[in-house]
Chains A and B, each alone.
Chain A
Amino acid sequence: MRAVRRLLKPAAFAACLVPAMRMTAGVFALPGFSLGADPVAALLHGCGRWALNFLLITLCMTPLKNWSGSRLPLGLRRMFGLFAFFYAALHLTVYVFLDQSGNVAAVWRDVVKRPYITIGMIALILLIPLALTSTARSMRRLGRRWTVLHRLIYAIAILGVWHFWWQVKRDIREPLLYACGLAVLLGYRLWKKRAAAARISAARLAEIGEALAADPRSSASRCTDP
Chain B
Amino acid sequence: MRKISPADARITSSQVTPYETYLSRRALLAGAVGIAAAGRFGGAARAAVPAQGALSYTRDAKYSVADQPNTFGDISTYNNYYEFGTDKADPAKNARNFRTRPWSVTVGGAADVTGTFHLEDILKPHPLEERIYRFRCVEAWSMVVPWVGFPLGDLLRRFKPTSNAKYVQFKTLYDPQQMPGERVPVLTWPYTEGLRIDEAMHPLSMMVVGLYGKVLPNQNGAPLRLIVPWKYGFKSIKAVVGIHFMADEPGTTWAGAAPGEYGFFANVNPAVPHPRWSQATERRLGGGLFAPRIATLPYNGYADQVASLYRGMDLRKYF
What total count of A-B pairs have CB within 8 Å?
60
Residues of B within 8 A of A169 (CB): 139
Pairwise interchain contact B82-A38, C-beta atoms closer than 8 A: no
The answer to whether A110 has its CB under 8 Å from any CB of chain B is yes
B contacts, CB < 8 Å to A: 70, 73-75, 77-78, 82, 86, 88-89, 139, 141, 143, 184, 186-187, 257-258, 276-278, 281, 283, 285-286, 288-290, 292-293
In the assembled complex, the CB of A196 is this many whole angstroms from the nearest CB of chain B, namely 41
The segment from A95-103, A208-216, A217-225 that touches chain B is A95-103
| Size band of the interface chain A makes with B | 20 to 34
> A37-B78, A167-B276, A171-B186 known; A100 and B293 CB under 8 Å?
yes
> A99-B283, A169-B139 known; A37 and B290 CB under 8 Å?
no
Q: Which residue of chain B lies nearest to A34 when distances are taken between CB atoms in the complex? A: B77
Pairwise interchain contact B139-A114, C-beta atoms closer than 8 A: no
Near B by CB (< 8 A), chain A positions 35-49 give: 36-41, 43
Q: Which residue of chain B lies nearest to A117 when distances are taken between CB atoms in the complex? A: B277
Interface flags for A100-116 (1: CB within 8 Å of B; 0: not) read 11000010011001111
A contacts, CB < 8 Å to B: 27, 36-41, 43, 98-101, 106, 109-110, 113-116, 166-167, 169-171, 173
- Can you report 14 residue pairs joining A to B where beta carbons are below 8 Å apart? A37-B74, A37-B75, A37-B88, A37-B286, A39-B288, A40-B289, A98-B290, A113-B278, A167-B276, A170-B82, A170-B86, A170-B186, A170-B258, A171-B184
Residues of B within 8 A of A166 (CB): 276
Contact among A98, A116, A173 with B289 in the assembled complex (CB-CB below 8 Å): A98
In the assembled complex, the CB of A2 is this many whole angstroms from the nearest CB of chain B, namely 44
Pairwise interchain contact A38-B285, C-beta atoms closer than 8 A: yes
Pairwise interchain contact A38-B141, C-beta atoms closer than 8 A: yes
Contact among B82, B277, B283 with A114 in the assembled complex (CB-CB below 8 Å): B277
